[in-house]
């Protein structure tokens, strides 16, 4: 029963991520981080509590990454320029 509840929670969070209802990049990454953290927490601990802790940690990390990164031009090891994300 716990696995089914955890799987349902992860699916609902994943559906919210792809629905496009988030306004900013930080919010979208918070949702994706939360879903990923909940999945990893549920698999690692085999409990709903682990999924909640993992989801919370993932959401905080995703928001922090989304808030502190911006689009910029980067150069790969072969000297080609491409659009990427910079931390700032």
What pLDDT was estimated at residue 60? Answer: 93
78 φ, ψ (degrees, to nearest 5): -95, 5
pTM of the model: 0.67
What span, in angstroms and rounded, lies between the C-alpha atoms of 9 and 73? 37
83 φ, ψ (degrees, to nearest 5): -80, 130
pLDDT average, residue stretch 48-63: 89
> Could you report the per-residue pLDDT of 11-36, keeping only the tens digit for each?
666 656 565 666 788 888 888 888 88
Tokens of 27: 């919010």
């Amino acid at each position: 029963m716990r696995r089914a509840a955890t799987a349902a929670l992860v699916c609902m969070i994943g559906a919210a991520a792809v629905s496009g209802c988030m306004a900013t990049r930080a919010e979208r990454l918070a949702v994706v981080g939360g879903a990923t953290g909940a999945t990893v927490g549920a698999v690692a601990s085999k409990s709903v509590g682990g999924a909640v802790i993992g989801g919370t940690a993932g959401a905080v990390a995703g928001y922090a990454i989304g808030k502190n990164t911006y689009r910029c031009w980067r150069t790969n090891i072969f000297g080609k320029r491409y659009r990427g994300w910079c931390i700032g």
